[in-house]
Structure 1
Amino acid sequence: MLKAEIRLQDLRGSVLLRAGRVEFGGSWIEAFEHPALEMVLVTTDGRWFAVVRERATGVTTPAPAQAVGFDAYVELYQECVAWPLDYVMVEVVKEECRMRIRAGVLGSAPIYFRAQDDAVLLSWDFADFLGVPFALDAEIAAHYLTLGTFYSARQICAGVTMLTERASIYVAPRMARYCYPEAVEVVGPTEAQSAFDPDHGFRQLLHEVMAMRPIKAGRAAIELSGGMDSAAVAAAARHTMGRQSSKGILLDGQHRHAQVERRNAIIALLELRDSTVNMSDFLPCLDLRPDARPKEHPLSEFYLEAFEAIWADARSEGAQYVLTGIGGDELFPLFAGEMAHTRVASETMIAEVGSYAESILTPRALTAARSMRLFDAPTSLVSMPTLLAHVCRAPYLLRRGLWPINPLSDPRLMEYCHTLPLAARFQRTTMRNYLNLSLNAGIFPCNYAKETFARVLPELIAQEADRIASQLKDCALADFGLVDQRAVLDLLAEVTATRAEAPCAPLAFFLWLERFVRQAT
């Protein structure tokens, strides 16, 4: 949401805001320029704060710069901390040359932080930190390679920290301290909720969430996959914002026909202005040369090429926002003791993937990967998969001038759905009922054939196996002592021979991390 270069000694000087940029001495804080965001500077005697936040519907845009008394300062500060949408705030005590940087609850466009020699660099773009040599955090790399799913301040580049949701960084001369927030209590089903109509509550809350941001007509593009989550977002957007455009990635293989049929039905019923790209025309880049792709976070979207194609199309048509169905998978979980047998297949797959992932690690890396993680961010109101999706996708959207909105990951909606009785959560009954009502058609029967990217990488890796093997004659991760080069080539051979998904997943994570390390070191 912002970028900044701050020298602590400059905090003592005068501060001003002009053209979306706070300036003090030779230091500056710059908001990401977008209609979704506003920047406010508030000053009082000896203190000031600057906040970049999402605009909220029904809230009058304040004066960009305000000089106020202390009581008004505290009131405005508390208003910012309780802001209903996302924000990043920098608070300064001038005489002591100290500041606090804090993040909002949604983690929409996380910022990264580096402190050195009483100077601080902040940026929403991880690539901004890759212009100088860095030490590789081997423990983080080992967890990446075993597909350890974690959301953490600690990053693979030693010395670079991510400001996770609700977290704070305190900075003073010769001192920087990171502070995680308190964990949020996980909410489950409640008896009281059974007295309410789940369908009515879901519809009302989803529409409220969709209307929280003042988006002009025709300025949003919806990522429409053909699944329930993106369809629910499209239906809610049609209700609250009017007619919008939709963008889709069409898959090859056995599910293509069903995907196209569902998308066509949704498009017709919601009167969407639709366009698509074929995944086969924008396949993931498997070239390990450092210049094969721009420098990027190793956790970038696997299918970035296809998504960048639809994002570019959306921007060329004047879109400023991208609406997604991210978060839908976490809306209707099964809790302990509920239908446990339905989880057996997925748990078996996870174990198989984990076994393949560990097979390529050196003993040193395996020890690190199996160590207890003490660096994870605490439980939040927003699901971890959603927060990780922000990490993977937000910088690429922002580079194109697009702001991401994931309505189904809204904390209020998530908490509401988690409290529903099992009958309302099982097989997403509440969402299915909403879609049947909104689309006036049974487009999503139980156990419909879902679209999936699962077959893309196994087939592609098999086709490019010879080139990958040739490029792996020199292996950066092997040089760092993290992987066994022979074991990696054996895993590549197995994916080539079987096209199986379980060995492909850890191989894909290895390839992305290998290219990142080659780029950045």
Structure 2
Amino acid sequence: MEQSDNSVDVTETGIIRYGNSQVEKFQSDFLRQHVEYDEENGVCHIVIWELGAFSAPSAGVDYDRLISSAEAQAIYVRLDSASRSKVQISRSQTIGAPLYVGVADGYLIATWKFEDIAGSIKNPVPHRDSCKIYIENGPSVIRDQIIDGIKMLWPGEAVSLVDGELVFQLCSSNNIVVPSTIYNGARVTDALQRRIADVMRPALEVAKRPLIELSGGMDSSCVAVAAKSVRSDLYSYALMHKGAVGRQQMERRMELVGLLQVQDHLYPSDQPNQFQALEWDEAGLTPFDDNHRMPCVLAVDEHPAGPIDLILTGIGGDELSSGLNIGRDPWELPGVHCISTLMAATARADMFMRRGIWTLNPLAHEHVVNFCRALPDKLRDNRMINLLMLARAGLSDGFLFPRYVEGYGHGMQREAALIDFDELFSVSIIADYRVYNFSHLLKAAREASNGGLSYELILRLFWLAKLECILKKYVR
């Protein structure tokens, strides 16, 4: 973005042009935009926001305060023809879609699509430090991304283009809510359900075909119960496992689907498996991704109720059932969000926005998170608040206390046991660029052929394979 004159134009499709700058919002019924031009000062104000954040801004509004107090995803772009910092972009605190930024030929580029930034770099090369972090830890809250020149603007932050350089303003440190007590006779589960429902209400009232990711876990089940209190005609889908775990999952979900009366769709969790899915072109687009992306999106593509326009997820449950959970490793940027929630929401947004679908994570909303942080620890430990909410909704004890953990780890172990990792990494762009010496991982994989690969080793190998896949797409 860069300005050469003071003209402002909004096209019929909603594209905003100010001089040589152009801003285009994601095409969704769940987003709104407002444009205001301050002719006296030569400043163009652009706000793009998610339903439920606030009403349309009025003239003279304090835009920075508007963003800091937003209760949903929102982005404020300030284009100033007279200022040294001609372009500034600010994000609200609410987690959600990724926003990659970079500079090309003096222009600031900001987009949720990783490939748009990568394609603007003339000679892309791996960012060694970021790649090492990625292999050892997976996606992380860091500034520099795996390709040199691509950076991330995280929720609650701002970035400016000053003399051709990006200048970031870190996330402001909000006050953290800590556990308290509850009054005699209090029904916190009812209050929690109302808060979750209120977060979803604006979007559910607009959605044509809202879909719930309904795995049968505690988090997505709570979202589904709250959503049903807002709207009756809901759709759902789930990835189904094999074997004893899958049979348990099927029986538990039959009870849940029967209680909620949602129109359900099932899809195998191993079609494709995680490493096999890296052969799909879509799986090599972005480093912020889910290791079971392809089964999820294929299930949504095949849903008989499609096209879907809104997906409700259970992401954010870690905040409901644990301590503050806001610690960061030394290489990560500071912030107030739970890391697992932030990473999962970023991945989910990319997966579904590419299909024109907006994603909503009600359990990650500030109102819900702060409500749960204020609860006594005994109501949060071992997902007690979830259990109480679902029990009062009418689900059985057998649903609440399943025999097996219905995770994806056992599936990844089965697949990994059949892979020749020496052969998989025989041609490596990571090795060619001297990014990371992964010989110890290959040695560990060979030795584990006798007793089985650990989940930790499988994830390291997966992130290594994922990184190879992405770098081969962009690095020439």
- Report if TM-score (shorter chain) is over 0.5: yes
User: 2:110 matched to 1:122?
Assistant: yes
The answer to whether the Cα contact below 8 Å between 2:372 and 2:380 also exists between their aligned partners in 1 is yes
Q: Deviations over 1:286-335 (max 9, x none)?
A: 4877x855641223211111011122134962320111111112212146
Residue 100 of structure 2 corresponds to which residue in structure 1?
A: 112
Q: Distance in 2 between matches of 1:146 and 1:300?
A: 15
Residue 47 of structure 1 corresponds to which residue in structure 2?
A: 43
Task: Indicate which of 310, 322, 334 corresponds to 1:378.
Answer: 334
The answer to whether the Cα contact below 8 Å between 1:432 and 1:444 also exists between their aligned partners in 2 is no
Between stretches 106-115 and 422-431, larger displacement belongs to: 422-431
Task: Indicate which of 464, 468, 489 corresponds to 2:419.
Answer: 464
Matches for 1:50-449 after TM superposition, within 5 Å? 50-56=46-52, 72-74=59-61, 78-79=65-66, 81-96=68-83, 98-131=86-119, 132=121, 133-147=123-137, 150-191=140-181, 196-216=186-206, 218-286=208-276, 293=282, 295-314=284-303, 317-334=306-323, 373-374=330-331, 376-380=332-336, 382-446=337-401, 448-449=403-404
Shift of 1:24: 2.4
Gaps of 5+ in 1: 1-5, 63-67, 337-371
Residue 348 of structure 1 corresponds to which residue in structure 2?
A: none
What secondary structure sits across from 2:88 in the alignment? strand
What secondary structure sits across from 1:463 in the alignment? coil
Residue 408 of structure 2 corresponds to which residue in structure 1?
A: 453
Q: Deviations over 1:158-204 (max 9, x none)?
A: 21111100100112343431111222343321246788432232222
Between stretches 306-315 and 480-489, larger displacement belongs to: 480-489
Q: Deviations over 1:182-235 (max 9, x none)?
A: 223433212467884322322222222222435336521001101111111111
The answer to whether the Cα contact below 8 Å between 1:288 and 1:514 also exists between their aligned partners in 2 is no
Q: Distance in 2 between matches of 1:516 and 1:148?
A: 13
The change in CA–CA distance for 1:475 and 1:206 in structure 2 (over 3 A counts) is same
Task: Indicate which of 462, 480, 488 corresponds to 2:433.
Answer: 480
User: 2:463 matched to 1:509?
Assistant: yes
The count of residues paired between Structure 1 and Structure 2 equals: 465
Shift of 1:377: 2.6
Task: Indicate which of 23, 48, 56 corresponds to 2:17.
Answer: 23
Q: Deviations over 1:331-355 (max 9, x none)?
A: 121469xxxxxxxxxxxxxxxxxxx
The answer to whether the Cα contact below 8 Å between 2:311 and 2:357 also exists between their aligned partners in 1 is yes
Question: Aligned AA for 2:111?
Answer: S
Shift of 1:511: 1.3
What secondary structure sits across from 2:308 in the alignment? coil
Gaps of 5+ in 2: none
Q: Distance in 1 between matches of 2:398 and 2:233?
A: 20
Give the percent of matched residue pairs that are identical in Structure 1 and Structure 2: 22
Shift of 1:473: 2.0
The answer to whether the Cα contact below 8 Å between 1:182 and 1:378 also exists between their aligned partners in 2 is no
Q: Distance in 2 between matches of 1:252 and 1:308?
A: 19
- Tell me the TM-score normalised to structure 1 length: 0.82
Question: Aligned AA for 2:189?
Answer: D
- Tell me the TM-score normalised to structure 2 length: 0.89
What secondary structure sits across from 2:274 in the alignment? coil
The change in CA–CA distance for 1:234 and 1:288 in structure 2 (over 3 A counts) is closer
